Amino acid sequence: MRFVVAVDGSDESNDAVRHAASLAEPLGADIELVHAITPEIYTDEGQVLIEDMSDAEARAETVLGDSVDVAEETGLEAETESLYGDAAEEVVGYAEEVEADGIFVGHRGVSTEYEDVVGSVAQELVRKATVPVTVVR
């Protein structure tokens, strides 16, 4: 059995890791922590700026490392994978590729302002996934 946990460094994401781990441990399931790398777009004094890909990859490495620490606090080891592109699309595709039995995600990510504009990753995962999705509050 294998669970995929989408992580973004938020407290809610860490809660999803803990919840997945609590269910995985008695089942002997593996946990894979995934983070979608998408460079941030922001404005500075009216100028649109795009985060450098190497900065986005470094941020992903930190997010995944911190999430591994959270999993290890529960006594479980977790594998990690960086994905590139739209978070929901990439997580769904990865879950299908590794034949995951379920996807876990926090109910709200690090950017609530962005979620209000484009919809949350959790909502998209629920709509698009072919396996059960657990949204952790």
In the chain, the number of structural domains is: 1
Mean pLDDT of 105-129: 72
Cα separation, 99 vs 106, whole angstroms: 21
Which range among 33-42, 99-108, 126-135 shows the weakest confidence by mean pLDDT? 33-42
By CB neighbour count within 10 A (0-12 exposed, 13-18 middle, 19+ buried), where does 77 fall?
Answer: exposed
User: Per-residue pLDDT tens for 62-102?
Assistant: 999 999 999 999 999 999 999 999 999 999 999 999 999 99
Provide CB contacts within 8 A for 127, sequence distance 6+.
none
pTM of the model: 0.87
Single-letter code of the amino acid located at 121: V
pLDDT of residue 109: 57
pLDDT of residue 110: 52
Range of the domain at 78: 2-136
Mean pLDDT of 105-124: 66
Residue 112's CATH number? 3.40.50.620
User: Per-residue pLDDT tens for 9-67?
Assistant: 999 999 999 999 999 999 999 999 999 998 777 677 777 677 788 888 999 999 999 99
Provide CB contacts within 8 A for 8, sequence distance 6+.
35, 63, 87, 106, 109, 110, 121
Cα separation, 11 vs 20, whole angstroms: 14
With beta carbons less than 8 A apart as the criterion, state whether 84 and 37 touch. Answer: yes
Give the pairing of strands 41-44 and 47-50.
antiparallel
Could you tell me the maximum CA-CA distance found in the chain, to the nearest angstrom? 52
